[in-house]
């Protein structure tokens, strides 16, 4: 069974659309294996977004993500990574397909409501960062 990490970002939590977002995944019969709500610390976020460390947007992204509650979930299902990426939509909400999470709730590249792992390798790494002993 394939697994992926999904983060509902602080902008979406603040907008009070967490239930709507979770419903999008459940409508596609994806299983929530683990879920928690936290305010992530900078160390966790810097490890999670390691590949973006040298990019100009990195400090803003870390400040944003550490500035509020995040819902972290491990979803399971057949081809869950590709399904989640389709449900989430394009990273840029302005380019996201209609009725995707980012189209509905994202407002910019940073404030784009959700994160989903982009590969099996990323999912395994990210899940181990956000969840202990699973």
- Tell me the pLDDT tens digit for each residue of 67-89: 999 999 999 999 999 999 999 99
What does the alpha-carbon distance between residue 37 and residue 70 come to, in Å, rounded to a whole number? 6
Instruction: Return the structure tokens found at 115.
Output: 């994160």
pLDDT at 133: 83
Phi/psi region, residue 73 (left: phi>0; alpha: psi -120 to 50; beta: rest), is beta
Domains of the chain: 2-119 (3.30.70.141)
- The one catalytic residue in 14, 34, 52, 115 is 115
What does the alpha-carbon distance between residue 116 and residue 12 come to, in Å, rounded to a whole number? 14
Q: What is the mean pLDDT of the chain?
A: 98
Indicate the Cα dihedral angle 27, 32, 65, 119, nearest 10°: -90
What does the alpha-carbon distance between residue 14 and residue 29 come to, in Å, rounded to a whole number? 26
Q: Any catalytic annotation for residue 115?
A: yes
- Say yes or no to pLDDT of 15 above 90: yes
pLDDT digits (tens, 9 = 90+) for 103-114: 999 999 999 999
Which residue in 43, 49, 70 sits closest to 118, CA to CA?
A: 49
Indicate the Cα dihedral angle 66, 69, 70, 72, nearest 10°: 120
pLDDT at 134: 83
What does the alpha-carbon distance between residue 5 and residue 125 come to, in Å, rounded to a whole number? 9
């Amino acid at each position: 069974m394939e697994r992926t990490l999904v983060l509902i970002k602080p902008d979406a939590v603040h907008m009070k659309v967490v239930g709507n977002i979770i419903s999008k995944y459940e409508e596609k019969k994806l299983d929530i294996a683990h879920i928690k709500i936290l305010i992530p610390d900078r160390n966790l976020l810097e490890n999670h977004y390691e590949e973006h460390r040298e990019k100009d947007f990195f400090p803003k992204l870390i400040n944003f993500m550490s500035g509020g509650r995040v819902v972290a979930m491990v979803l399971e299902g057949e081809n869950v990574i590709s399904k989640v990426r389709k449900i989430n939509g394009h990273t840029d909400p302005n380019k996201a397909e209609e009725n995707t999470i980012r189209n509905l709730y994202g407002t910019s590249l940073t404030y784009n409501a959700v994160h989903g792992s982009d590969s099996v390798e990323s999912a395994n790494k990210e899940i181990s960062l956000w969840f202990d002993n699973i």
